[in-house]
Amino acid sequence: MPDRFEKLKEVKKKFITVEFFFKAAGERFKLEQITKLDIPKRKKIFDKNLHRPGLALAGYVELFTYQRIQVLGNTEIKYLTQLNKKKRIDSLMRFFSFNVPCVIITNDNPLPVEFIHIAQKFKIPVFKTPYPTTRFIYLVSDFLDDQFAPQIVIHGSFVDVYGIGVLFCGKSGIGKSEIALDLVERGHRLVADDVVLVSKKGESVLMGSGTEFVQHFMEIRGLGIIDIRKVFGIRAIRFQKRVEVIVELEHWDPGKVYERTGLNTVKGNIMGVEIEMIRLPIFPGKNITVISEVIALNYLCKHYGYDAAKVFAENLKKKIRLNKKSGKGETSASLRRAIEYFEHDFE
Amino acid sequence: MIEKEVTIVNKAGMHTRPASTIVKIAAKYKANFFISKNGFEINGKSIIGVMTLAAEQGSKLLLRFDGEDEHELAKEMIDFFERGFDEK
């Protein structure tokens, strides 16, 4: 069961076009094209890493990762500026003869005149940004990391419950949407229903969101399509949330064994990230909404260092030890009330 | 109805792990299952109940089975107690 997500197909973008990059991120990174080109459609970015082509400019082009976005900072520009004209042209001709997707100049550095000419000749777009190089690389890496992140589609309902991203999975018709609806009614926020897009961020974070098309529409059996955002308003939705707990709903099967203490947590594995997984048997009359809230709150408690199951088990161990020590004495003899005696207010 | 007195033999007593196994075994059967210690009887299908007994090594418990499949339940349960919950 923990590997039920392994069969799901992982989708990964092979490339993004430079045109898309500029459209999606241009404003965010204050990019401005200084070449006068319609960005050629064939210009693609295949790699989430960036490259600073210092060595390539200096003439060493073995292992030159030209297929990456090339970032030229103060050092590279300074280097080019101090070369004599001939050497500078040689260097740039060599550099631009590689099929570079695009070049980005940081710090709004002014360029030697030949630069733009040669870039245009090779139809390689050059952008500039006012951001300093390190800051820019940090920002763009994050963006590209997200663009090239592996994604999967999970059939389920994804709700932010008290700030914890709870992903409900289970067979069709078991009531995932109804639970999400009930949670929304109680003030929690729907991220996605039915089609949840889960992306891997970095090594250990999974982010979930809905799809652009479905947004916060939802199907309720017997009722049809409703729009949660319209019905409940802006407070009822959010667009993204980290996936923190998976709740697997299933019809209660008397022949099956369910977790009783909470000490043996099961982890689900989604794209190599382990996520706490709870198998929840359901039957008519069981209030899954309230249980879901408790799952979220208990997760928070554990996150902040208090694990009720562990505390209870520890208390039990202590009590058994005490009983053993006192032999068949008074303490071992009986269950003791939680208070020593009832004080004189018989309420 | 079947009644049987058992002694806790393992060193750690009836702690969390055996307690959870006990309720899992009991849950498989229809018969009711009760454990008493020093006169207090608790429902053996309730994990909190079983843990409340805090039964230490050497303590004596009275197991009571009652229902249609009591024999099967009694057999499996008594066996689990006698094996010292598969611990030392």
A157 and A287 co-located in one domain: yes
The structure's pTM equals: 0.82
pLDDT of amino acid A45: 93
Range of the domain at A80: 16-147
Query: Does one domain contain both A110 and A241?
Result: no
> Same domain, yes or no, for A252 and A298?
yes
Residue (of A247, A249, A239) closest to A190 by Cα position: A239
Q: Say whether both A292 and A324 belong to one domain.
A: no
* Same domain flag for A162 and A36: no
Q: Which residues contact A152 (CB under 8 A, 6 or more apart)?
A: A5, A8, A9, A10, A11, A197, A198, A270, A271
Rounded mean pLDDT, A218-240:
93
Residues A211 and A322 in one domain: no
**Last residue in a domain, options A113, A147, A181:** A147
Amino acid at A149: A
On whether residue A282 sits in a domain, the answer given is yes
User: Over the stretch A155-189, which tens digit does the pLDDT of each residue have?
Assistant: 999 999 999 999 999 988 888 999 999 999 999 99
Same domain, A143 and A155: no
Q: Residue A35: pLDDT band by 50, 70, 90 thresholds?
A: very high
Among residues A149, A146, A151, A197, the alpha carbon closest in space to that of A9 is found at: A151
Provide, as residue numbers in chain A, all residues whose Cβ is less than 8 Å from the Cβ of B24. 257, 260
Among the partner-chain residues B23, B39, B56, the one whose CB lies closest to the CB of A324 is: B56
* Chain A: residue whose CA lies nearest to B24: A257
- Whether A33 and A112 map to the same domain: the answer is yes
Do residues A157 and A290 share a domain? yes
The whole-number pLDDT of residue B39 equals: 83
Q: Is the ipTM of this complex over 0.90?
A: no
Final residue of a structural domain among A131, A147, A163: A147
Statement to judge: residues A181 and A278 lie in one domain: yes
The CA–CA distances, whole Å, from B41 to A50, B7, B31, B46, B62 equal 70, 16, 16, 12, 9
The neighbour count for residue A219, using CB atoms within 10 Å, is 13
Residue A5 lies in a domain: no
Give the largest CA-CA distance in chain B.
34
Residue A347 within a domain: no
The verdict on B23 touching A (C-beta cutoff 8 Å) is yes
**Same domain assignment for residues A32 and A67:** yes
- Which residues of B, range 25-64, sit inside 8 Å of A by Cβ? 27-28, 38-40, 47, 51-59
The beta-carbon neighbor of B40 closest among A261, A313, A335 is A335
Let me know whether A327 and A294 are in one domain.
Answer: no
Please give the structure tokens belonging to residue A189: 């926020």
Cα-flanking dihedrals φ and ψ of residue A28, to 5°?
-60, -40
Number of domains present in the structure of chain A: 3
Residue A230 within any structural domain of the chain: yes
Q: Which of A260, A261, A314, A315 to mutate to test the interface with B (most CBs of B within 10 A)?
A: A260
- Last residue of one domain, picked from the residues A147, A180, A207: A147
Query: Which CATH number fits the domain that encloses residue A111?
Result: 3.40.1390.20
Alpha-carbon distance values, A40 to A19, A45, A124, A136, A207 (Å): 8, 12, 8, 24, 32
Say whether A261 and B14 touch across the interface (CB within 8 A). no
Integer CA distances (angstroms), A232 to A184, A190, A194, B11, in order: 8, 10, 18, 58
Taking 90 as the threshold, does the pLDDT of residue A67 lie above it? yes
Residues of B annotated catalytic, as ranges? 15
Residues A32 and A125 sit within 8 Å (Cβ to Cβ): no
Counting DSSP H helices and E strands in chain A, the numbers are 11, 17
Q: What is residue A181's predicted lDDT score, i.e. its pLDDT?
A: 95
The answer to whether the CB of A125 falls within 8 A of the CB of A119 is yes
pLDDT digits (tens, 9 = 90+) for A18-28: 999 999 999 99
For residue A192, the cross-strand partners are: A158
